[in-house]
Structure 1
C-alpha cells in the first residue's frame, strides 16, 4: 500500500512538472501576442483610440504615424468599400519594445476573435506596411475571424493594396516564361511560403501572389471581392468561387 502511494505521488509530481513546463513554454512562445493584448495596461502611450506608441517617441513621429494610419484606412476603404475592422496598432521602435511585442522589425498581425493587434516595427513605419496589415485585419474580420482563404490570396490582396510590389508582373513573366508555364498556386497555399520574410524566395512568392490577386481584382472589382467573402461565409469553397466570380464578371 505504501509502495502504491509512493508511485502515485511520483506520478502526480511528474504530471505537475509536465504541466508547469508546458505552461512555461506556452508563455514564452506566446509572450509577444499576450503583451499586445495587454497593451492597454502597459507603459505604451495611446495617441488615438486604437493607436499606441512608446511615450518617448517624438511628436513628429506620432504625427506622422497618425497620417500613415489615415492614408492606410483610405486605401482599405477604396478596395472594400468600407471598413469594419478596428485593430489595435502598436508601434515598437526601441529594442526593448521590439523584444516585448514584435516578431520582426517590419510588421505583423496577431489575430484574436475579439480584436486584431497589429505591431509595427521601425522598418514598417510607413503607409505601405500599415495598409498591408490593415488589409489582413479587414479580411480576417469580414471572414468571421476564420482562415477561409489560401495564404496567396491573403498576402496577394494585402500586397496589392500596400503598393510595394510594383514589379510583380515582371516577376510573374520571368517565372512563367511569359505566361506559357502557369504558376502552381497550391504550393503557395500555406503561410510558410511567406514566412521567411526578407529572403528571395519569399519576395518571389509575394510578387506572384500580388500579380494574381491584382489580375483577378481588375476583372471582378470590389463587388466581386465582397461576393467572394459572402460566399465563403456561407460555406462555399474558395477555388470554385474564385473562378466562378471571375467567369461571371467576364460574361
Structure 2
C-alpha cells in the first residue's frame, strides 16, 4: 500500500475509533440503564448467579435473599406460561446509590429493552420482580409487528405476579377490585400519564385482563391470542374494546 494511502487509512481508522468512543460515551451518559444491562461489571455489579448481577458488597444473608426472591419470581412466571421463552439479565440493587448509578429512578423495578430487568431496593420482592419479568416474557413471545395495548401488558403482568394490591385472591369468582368505567390507556405515554394521576389504573387493567383470561381459557387463551397476533391479526379484532 502506498505511503499516502496508509496515512489516509490510519487517519480514517483513528477517526472511526474516536467516533465509536464518542457514541459509546453518549449512550452511557444518556441511557445508563441500557449500558448497565449490557455491561453490569462496568457499573460495579458482580454476577451472583447465572444472569443475576448485584452489588459485590452484599452480606451472605443479603445474597441469600436476592436468590430467594429471583427464584420465587421465576416460578410465578413459569407457573403461568410453563417453559419460559425469555431469560432476562437481572440487575439487582439493595442500595439507592447502586440503583441510581445504573440509571434507575423512583420506580421499584423496570424492564429494559424487553431483554433485561432492573430492581431497586424497594422492588426486592417476588411480586415486583415477576411483574417486570412478565413484561419481558410477553414481548419475547411476540414477533416483530405484533403488539398488545399497554393496559393489557400491565394487567397481564399484575395477574402473573399475583399482586394482591390490585387483584382479589385467585379463589374469588371475580378477581376485580376496581372495574374500569371507560377505555384504558393503549400507549406507554398514555399509561404513564394515567397511572400518575389515578392510583387505580393498575387495578382497572388487572380487572379487565383477569376477566378476559377467565372467559377465554386463561393460559390457553393467552397462547391462542399470541399466536393470532403473530400471524398478523390486530389486537382490537381479537379482544373487543371493553371486554
TM-score bracket, normalised by the shorter chain, equals 0.7 to 0.9
Residue 208 of structure 2, aligned match among 207, 212, 219? 212
Which position in structure 1 is the counterpart of 2:124?
Answer: 125
Q: Does the residue aligned with 1:47 lie in a helix, a strand or coil? A: strand
Farther-moved stretch of structure 1 (38-47 vs 67-76): 38-47
Which position in structure 2 is the counterpart of 1:86?
Answer: 87
Residue 169 of structure 1, aligned match among 167, 173, 176? 176
TM-score (norm 1): 0.75
Q: Does the residue aligned with 1:56 lie in a helix, a strand or coil? A: coil
Contact 2:177 2:203 (C-alpha < 8 Å) held by counterparts: no
1:89-168 residue pairs with structure 2 within 5 A? 89-101=90-102, 102-111=104-113, 116-144=115-143, 148-162=147-161, 163=163, 164-166=165-167
Shift of 1:194: 3.3
Q: Give the Cα separation in 2 of the matches to 1:161 and 1:241.
A: 21
Q: Give the Cα separation in 2 of the matches to 1:120 and 1:200.
A: 23
Shift of 1:209: 0.6
After superposition, what is the alpha-carbon deviation per residue over 1:104-135, rounded to whole angstroms, capped at 9, x for unaligned? 340001116xxx11000011000110010110
Shift of 1:94: 2.3
Gaps of 5+ in 1: 1-18, 177-182, 247-251
Gaps of 5+ in 2: 1-18, 169-174
After superposition, what is the alpha-carbon deviation per residue over 1:20-77, rounded to whole angstroms, capped at 9, x for unaligned? xx96765533122222211155431211111011011222122112111111112112
Kindly report structure 1 stretches of 4+ aligned residues shifted beyond 6 Å: none
User: Which is helix-richer, 1 or 2?
Assistant: 1
User: How many pairs align?
Assistant: 211
Contact 2:70 2:126 (C-alpha < 8 Å) held by counterparts: yes
